[in-house]
Structure formats: structure tokens, C-alpha cells
Amino acid sequence: MTLHQNLIAGEWVGTDGVENINPSNTNEVVGVYARASADDAKNAIAAAKAAFPAWSRSGILERHAILKKTADEILARKEELGKLLAREEGKTLPEAIGETIRAAQIFDFFAGEVLRLAGEVLPSVRPNIGVEITREPIGVVGIITPWNFPIAIPAWKIAPALAYGNTVVFKPAELVPGCSWAIADILHRAGLPKGVLNLVMGKGSVVGQAMLDSPDLAAITFTGSTGTGKRVAASSIEHNRKFQLEMGGKNPMVVLDDADLTVAVEAAANSGFFSTGQRCTASSRLIVTEGIHDKFVAALTEKLKGFVVDDALKAGTHIGPVVDAGQLKQDTDYIAIGQSEGARLAFGGETISRDNPGFYLQPTLFTEATNQMRISREEIFGPVASVIRVKDYEEALSVANDTPFGLSAGIATTSLKYATHFKRNSEAGMVMVNLPTAGVDFHVPFGGRKASSFGPREQGKYASEFFTVVKTAYTLA
Ligand code: ADP
């Protein structure tokens, strides 16, 4: 098989390859991808540093054209790239194609943002002095991404980084190098100058750590686990570097007595189980008031019974496999923990076999859970959700907010009063009314509160807060 190499200073380099395995069929190798060393990471950082002065002063039309070309190619190849994504990550083909389209839309959006860069001009409080406020690129940005959105998350970090004139060292997650390699290849062929984007695929403990240890990264944007996020934060403080973290979630979905049952079940089934529950915005706590509880559990269980768990590429599959053996063990460990804590296993809980060997797990629903159980407090990151029974809206809101996390929160209700109150009082960065907690637009801010996120929001025009630095200039007229 061809070795997909790392991109450093505009050259494809690397000889040491690792197989990328398909979680729907572990006998299938998706491709072979180079593994970077700590020295490769250092070379990539040096190349990005050398490329920064020219790129930061490049014309906006050049940046616009490269990002637009990239968007167009990703969109034109959505079926092929979607298939690659589904094979390396395990989400279903329609989900994977949808994510690929979203990556194209993100590049397209930031191609537009390049042309809309603007500052402010205002008078000084002192006579005859003018003030200009502008945004400038920060420098070399380190980008570290997780495996659950192999093309969208790299896109929503790389596109704004480049649009605002920064250079990049990009380390994708070990499990999904394929889509990241494709993005680097497309940007490279779209005419990105040497060293502006460097791709270093490899281990977090080696390549990622070398990035954290470098004094030459002006900023790091990270999405992944809370543990690694803390390391990014600590190293960034030490190096006086800007950082942005997107970490876990334990997102609540409140279902009130007055909810439209079909809407509530659709929202819970989607946000709890689609993409195999492997979305940081997935809702794993279903907080349901007494009057609708039994009907909701019965209808959701019926829905889960109808879900087909199978190969990500098979037509008709609703839920693909879990991403790898480690994640599957984490999921089944939590299922055992839930049972030992006294929650009732209402559906699923078993690993299953399909035609090919893969990491298949039934969608799993617990009932009679409490918000104090570990399955309600810790992120499982699998197709596992728990129903917590509550008395009324007030208790539902209090349970929803009683979590260390604060990424996304949802409510199913037909009451304007409760919907409005929930939007105002939910301690989450994103609030959904009669919608799944997962599934967000690409042109508006994304991010959370509490242990879920740190730093400015990602996506949309708000992305400029992280990827630029503000300058205030005074001129005597
Ligand atoms: P997940 O549970 O999603 O795999 P991780 O935080 O382990 O979360 O991984 C997210 C990203 O962080 C991956 O690209 C991974 O390689 C990287 N990473 C892991 N450990 C480190 C580290 N010590 N330094 C920098 N990056 C790391």
C-alpha cells in the first residue's frame, strides 16, 4: 500500500508507516500513514515559523482563492472522502458525507471571511488624535484534533487559522489520519506556500507533546479529552501562549410532560445514539418528568429496537461500530458500572457480531438512574444514555445544570414559558429547544462552559477572537 507521508515545509516526508484499521471490519486496512517523530514536529514548527512573515502579509485574494479552491474540491469529492471517513471512523456513510459537506462549507465560509476582514476607526478622547483598532495574525498555531469528527474539526480549526494569516502545525488523532491527510493534500495542491500548513501525523505522547513543549507556537487549539486539555493549558501558561480547549460533555436533554412525544423521542434518539454516541454534544442524560416518563421510555425503547447496528458503509445502517477496542471497553465498563450502581438496563448493553469482525455495540438505555451515579457524571462517549426521572421542570433544570460540564443542553416542551426559562438558565454554551443537543450550524459560535471548554468560541465570525490578536493604534492628525 502507498505510504501517506507527513507534509513538512512543503515536502512529503516520512518512511515509518502505521496501518489505519476500519472499525467496521478490522481485517481491512484503510491505508498506511506515516508516523512523525518529535524531531519531525520540531521541523514542522520551524517551517511554520519561517513561513509566517510572508503568509501573514499575503494578499487577501490569495488566501481567499486557496480556501475557496479547497472548499470546492472537498465538495466535489464528498462521496469519496465521506467513504474514507466512514471507513476510518465508523460513522455511517450518510453521516460521513454530511460531515464532509460541512467541512467544505466551513472552508467556503472562511474564504468569505478573508474578504470581510475589517477594523474600527474612532476618535480619541484627546483632540486631533485618531484611533484604529485592527486584528492581526498571531503566529504559528498548533492544531490538535480528536478522532470523532475526522474532517469537520480539522476544517473548523485550519480554515480560520489560515484565513486570518497564521501558519499551522496540524496533528490529527492517531485513529483517523486519512481525512487529515486529504485536507493537507488538497490545500497543498490548491497553492498554499511551503510551510504554511504542516501535517504531522503520529502519537499524542510524542508529536503532540513536542508541540506542547515548543516555545515557538503562539497558540494551540485543542479538542479532545479533559486530561490532555489540562496538559495543553499548563504548557501554554508556561510558554505564555494563547490556548483554546474543547473537551467533554455530559449533555442533558430535558423532556417535560407537555412535550410532543414524537419530537422528544426523535431528539433523544438522535442525540444519544447517532454517530454511535461519539459526539461531545451527544445527550447521555435524559431528564424526564413523571407524567410523560413511562410513555417516553416505551417509545424510545421501541425506536432503539428498530435501529440497525452494522457496517458503516452498508445501506440501512443507523449506527456504525464503536471506533476501536479501547473505546468499546470503556463503553462496556460503564455499562457494567451502571448496573452495579443500581440503574435498570432497559435496552441493549451487549456487544454484537456482524458479517465482519468489528466493534459493534447495541444502543444502550438505562432507566431509574440518578444524577449522582458515575454513568450520569462521567463522559462515556458511546451509544449509552440514561433516563433520570424528575418531579417537575424546576427539578429538571436543577439536575440538568448539576454537572461538571456545560457544552450543550436540550429541552423538549411545547411551553414557551419553560423553553424561554431554560434558554436563559441553562449553564451550557449551546441550548436546543425541541432539537437534538448535537447537530450544529457551521456559521455560528460553537463551545461550552465549565469543564467543557476554555477560551474564545470556535466557528463563525467569532473564530477571529482566537485566531487573531487586537492592535490599537493612535495617530496625531
Ligand atoms: P480522546 O479521548 O478523544 O482520544 P485525547 O485527549 O487522548 O482524547 O486525544 C485528543 C488529541 O490529543 C489526539 O490528537 C491525541 O493524539 C492528542 N494527545 C494525546 N496526548 C497528548 C499529549 N500528551 N500532548 C499533546 N497531544 C496529545
280 catalytically annotated: yes
User: Which atom of ligand 1 is the closest one to the Cα of 229?
Assistant: 6
Which amino acid does the sequence have at 410? G
In angstroms, the CA 268 to CA 286 distance is 7
Kind and range of the H or E run holding 409: strand 408-412
In angstroms, the CA 364 to CA 376 distance is 14
Nearest partner of 117 among 436, 475, 463, 443, judged by Cα: 463
Whether residue 400 contacts residue 394, with contact meaning beta carbons closer than 8 Å, is answered with: no
User: Which atom of ligand 1 is the closest one to the Cα of 228?
Assistant: 6
CATH architecture for segment(s) 3-247+452-476: 3-Layer(aba) Sandwich (3.40)
* Ligand 1 center–CA 225 separation, angstroms: 7
Q: Which residues pair with 243 in a beta bridge?
A: 220
Cβ within 8 Å of residue 282, ≥6 positions away? 249, 251, 271, 272, 275, 381, 437, 438
99 catalytically annotated: no
Nearest residue (CA) to ligand 1, atom 21: 204
251-433 has which CATH code?
A: 3.40.309.10
State the burial class of residue 58 (Cβ atoms within 10 Å of its Cβ: 0-12, 13-18, 19+).
Answer: middle
In angstroms, the CA 129 to CA 132 distance is 10
Reading the chain (477 residues) residue by residue, the pLDDT tens digits are 899 999 999 999 999 899 999 999 999 999 999 999 999 999 999 999 999 999 999 999 999 999 999 999 999 999 999 999 999 999 999 999 999 999 999 999 999 999 999 999 999 999 999 999 999 999 999 999 999 999 999 999 999 999 999 999 999 999 999 999 999 999 999 999 999 999 999 999 999 999 999 999 999 999 999 999 999 999 999 999 999 999 999 999 999 999 999 999 999 999 999 999 999 999 999 999 999 999 999 999 999 999 999 999 999 999 999 999 999 999 999 999 999 999 999 999 999 999 999 999 999 999 999 999 999 999 999 999 999 999 999 999 999 999 999 999 999 999 999 999 999 999 999 999 999 999 999 999 999 999 999 999 999 999 999 999 999 999 998
Provide the residue ranges of all domains of the chain, joining segments of one domain with +.
Answer: 3-247+452-476, 251-433
Cβ within 8 Å of residue 446, ≥6 positions away? 156, 246, 429, 430, 440, 457, 458, 459, 460
> Ligand 1 site: residues with CB under 6 angstroms?
144-147, 171, 173-174, 204-205, 208-209, 212, 224-225, 228, 231
115-118: long-range contacts at Cβ-Cβ below 8 A with a sequence spacing of 24 or more?
A: 115/60, 115/64, 116/461, 117/60, 117/164
* Ligand 1 center–CA 446 separation, angstroms: 20
* Ligand 1 center–CA 174 separation, angstroms: 9
- 322-343 pLDDT, tens per residue? 999 999 999 999 999 999 999 9
pTM, rounded to two decimals: 0.98
Hey, do 3-247+452-476 and 251-433 end up sharing a CATH topology, with the first three levels equal?
Answer: no
Task: Give the pLDDT confidence score for residue 301 in this predicted structure.
Answer: 98
